[in-house]
Each structure stands twice: as C-alpha cells, then as structure tokens.
Amino acid sequence: MIRFERVNFQYADSEAGVTDICLHVRKGECVVLTGPSGNGKTTLIRLVNGLAPAFYTGRFSGCIQIDGKDRSGEPLWKRGKTVGSVFQDPGSQFFSSEMPGEVAFSCENYGFPHEKIVLRTDVAIRRFRLEQLRDRSLDVLSSGEKQRTAVASVYAMNPPVYVCDEPTANLDGQGVKELREVLQGLKREGCTLLIAEHRISWLMDVADRFVYIRDGAIQWERTPKQMRLLPSEVMKQLELRAVQHCMPSRLSIPAVTGSPLLSLKSLSCKRGKHTIWENLNLAAWAGQIIAITGHNGAGKTTLAKIVAGLERPSKGSISLHGRKAGSSRRRKSCWYSSNDTGTQFFTNSVTEELFLGIFRTEEQLERARNLLKKLDLYAYKDAHPAILSCGQKQRLSIACGLLSDRKILLFDEPTSGLDGGNMRKIASALEDAAAEGKAVLVITHDEELIQACCSFQWDLSK
C-alpha cells in the first residue's frame, strides 16, 4: 500500500531529514515508527500525507508509491482522499466548535453533495460512539473524546490509509484505551495504518511491526513478540518507553517524622453546582515526590492550582510549615508549572528566563550553570525558549522552579508526549529537587514516571 524506495528528504530550513528509507507497508497492515523524538518519525509521516515536500519544503529524492502509484506529481488535496491524517494535538486543529461540522469538514471541502455528507458524517459519529456528545461544544470534551472526533472526521472521508503522528501525546490512560479500540476497529475494516509513536505499550496488540528510526534512518524492524524480549537495559539505551503496560502502582505512605511542609485540611472545591472533590486531608513532607493521580476531570489540575495559590478553594484551609497560609503567601512558596509550556516563558533566552524575578548574584549564576548542565540544557543557554523541544521546555520549567527557591514545586503532566530518554531525564531532575529538600507534587498519568521516581501517591479518583 505504501512503498518507500530509497527516499531521501532534507528540510530546506534545517539540517534534519531522513536518508535512504526503504519501507513497504502492506495493505491492512499496522506499522509503528518508533524511536527518540526529533529523529525523523514525523518526517516519514509527512512524506506519506504529502505535507512534505509540499508544505514543509525541502530536497526530495527517491520514490514513494501509495496504492501502487507514484503520487509526487499530483496536487496535495488529492492525497487527502487516499491518506487520512491524525495529528498530535486534536484541540488545536478543529475548524468548527460543533461536532457534526468538524466531522463533516473534509467531505465539505471535497464538495460532496449534501445528502452524502450527512450520511457519512452520521455514520462516522455513530461508528465512534460520539452521538451522546453531538450537541456539546468541542471545547469542553476530554482529550480522548477530542482525538476520537479527529479520527471520526478522517473516517468520514473513508481513506484506505491512516497516518497518525504521536496521537497519544495529549491523551490520558482512558483516552489511550479509547484510541486503541478505534485503531483496532479500523484495522479490522482493512485500513492500512502507519503510526509514529514512542509510547509503545498500548500498540502491542495492534501493531504488526515496529520500525526503529534514529538519525533519520531505519535501524531495525521487530515484531511485537521480539519487542517483548528486549531487556529493559536495551530499551533504555534505545530511549524507548516500556513495552509492557506498567501496572498502576500503589505506593504506601513512607515513614516520616516532623511537621509536614504542606498540609490540606478538609479542603473542598466546587465549581458552580458541581462538586469536584471534597474533604481532602493530605500532607506533604520535604524530600518527597508525590504523584497526584486520578481520572480525567477528577480535579487534579484544580487541586494543584489551588495549592499554588492561583485559584481559591470553596472550603477548608491550607497550611505551610504548620501555619495557615493565604493564597498570596502560597504563591511565594509554591511553584506551579502547567502542562502547556507554550504560555510559560516570557523572555528572549533560556538564561534570562531562569533569572526572571531573581536577583543575579555570582552564586546564583553558578547554581544556574550547574542546573542547566545537569538538565542537559547548557548548550541552549542563549537560545530563545520558543525553539526548544517539548522535553527541553519541560526541563527548563523545572529548572526555573528549582532556581526560584520556593519550597513546594507542582508540575502538571511534565512527561506527556515525551520519549523514554526525556522522561528519564525529567525523573532524575525531580529526584534532584527532592534531594534539595523540596516537596515535589507531580500530576501524572505516566505510570513509568511514577515508578521511576515517586515516593507517594495521592489518588483523587477515590
């Protein structure tokens, strides 16, 4: 169905690209492209859906056949009928605020007659069990539901080939499960799937082959069975995520002495008439890394924002060092870094970012230098924060938190969408923070991260 023959591609505006790619994806097969971020997975996906070289320009050589034909000559919009694309962040690619309008978008673009559009849209909505969400605004859906809507809008076009570029980067456990079922269904219907992904455990039952890509070239291919046999040391070297699905961990309360750094007393939160959670009594001690877990909408982010003094609880109190603290005092001693790193950086360089609001002394400069080296950011110290990759932005945010001298650090999903290598770097950064005597609270769905570094867990689902 998809055949790469000695394909080379190099982006016009950077060094990155892929070299000498030979790959054949048969009809009805599901092939997963894996490997560390920034090594060429996405480029291959773009070559299949035509965005490279048509939208992302560059030098192309070789031949890509889709459905038996070399498509390099035809206009890009024709490719959309054969290849459907699912992207990383579904929320930011919606054109409509209503579900039917969004699902129908491709069909509308191709100018299908009205009856056909309605039929296909309704079939797609039913196929992905989205009927009960039909009348809701797309903005209020969960990440999993949004991604299902995005797949449905591709499904309405009924293309034989689906390409997905890190479709789970913004999904929680439930969303990933939903997506797996969706892809399994598509495969049963005979669709060809090409997926770029570094979270691989969820794909073990769907994929036929895993193709490892590094430095812009295919290194090896393995079946799921062979993948399972790889020892974890090798996986670490390959910078991959775990093959086995980590069992949700149950961490017990460690033995601690002394007064807690942070304690919540009968804290409740209501938004409108809806009670998000109530009567929370929790405590955190210095040197701990606490995982805040719970399903979507359990109020994890709200809890973190309330602790950080950015929002107000409806009842209860929060104490720091055993003394009740209002929101402005909490803001002084808590650092909150949100999941969306796009809105967190305000200055022109990584170094300035670190010293935003901090007095520059020789000692602090030295600390910053060590911190950047430890977090593998030193080479970027004069770079603009906007050009950093996701993993680097998350690390920079952690570095800012560490340098800020606040005692309590809260991180919201710092590892979502990161490959194994980046995830481990974040885990060790959190451990360093705890070793400095901070209390670290991390909201996460990432069982691997919890196993790697957390000492204790607050589960909000209960």
Partner 1 sequence: MRETALSVPVKVWATACAILGVSLTANTLLTCFLALLAFCQLVFEKRWRLCLTFGVFYLALVLLLYLIRFHSLRMVVFSEFYVLMFYNLMPVFLVAWDLITTPPGQLSAALSKIHTPTPVILGLLVVFRFFPTMKAELKGIRQSMKNRRLTGPVQVLRHPAVTCEYVLVPMLLRCLQIADQLSVSAIARGAQSPGVRGSYYARKLQLADFLWMGIWAIGTILFFIIGGIK
> Among residues 77 and 220, whose Cβ is nearest to partner 1?
77
> Among residues 85 and 416, whose Cβ is nearest to partner 1?
85
**DSSP track, 379-410:** GGTTS-GGGS-HHHHHHHHHHHHHHTT-SEEE
Is 421 within 8 Å of 415 (Cβ atoms)?
no
Tell me, rounded to whole angstroms, the distance of Cα 187 from its chain centroid: 24
x-marked contacts with partner 1 along 12-51 as a string, rule CB under 8 A? -------------------------------------xxx
In total, the chain counts a number of residues equal to 462
Angle at alpha carbon of residue 414, lines to 413 and 419, rounded to 5°? 110
| Residue numbers 287-306 binding partner 1 by CB under 8 A | 305
> Among residues 190 and 357, whose Cβ is nearest to partner 1?
357
Is 460 within 8 Å of 454 (Cβ atoms)?
no
Least CB distance from residue 150 to partner 1, whole Å?
A: 9
Coil, helix or strand for 54?
A: helix
Among the listed residues 70, 74, 215, 340, the single contact to partner 1 using CB under 8 A: 340
**DSSP track, 345-381:** --SSSHHHHHTTTS---HHHHHHHHHHHHHTT-GGGT
Decide: is 370 part of the binding site for partner 1 (CB under 8 A): no
Least CB distance from residue 109 to partner 1, whole Å?
A: 4
Is 170 within 8 Å of 341 (Cβ atoms)?
no
Among the listed residues 106, 147, 170, 288, the single contact to partner 1 using CB under 8 A: 106
> Among residues 86 and 218, whose Cβ is nearest to partner 1?
86
Decide: is 72 part of the binding site for partner 1 (CB under 8 A): no
> Among residues 412 and 447, whose Cβ is nearest to partner 1?
412
Tell me if the bond preceding 53 is cis, omega within 30° of 0.
yes
Rounded distance, CA 44 to CA 159, Å?
18
> Among residues 45 and 449, whose Cβ is nearest to partner 1?
45
The one segment of 7-15, 62-70, 76-84, 195-203 that binds partner 1 by CB under 8 A: 76-84
**What is the residue type of 298?**
A
Decide: is 67 part of the binding site for partner 1 (CB under 8 A): no
Residues in the site for partner 1, rule: CB under 8 A?
49-51, 54-55, 75-77, 80-81, 85, 87, 89, 92-98, 100-101, 104-114, 116-118, 121, 139, 153-154, 157, 305, 308, 310, 331-332, 335-338, 340, 342-346, 356-357, 386
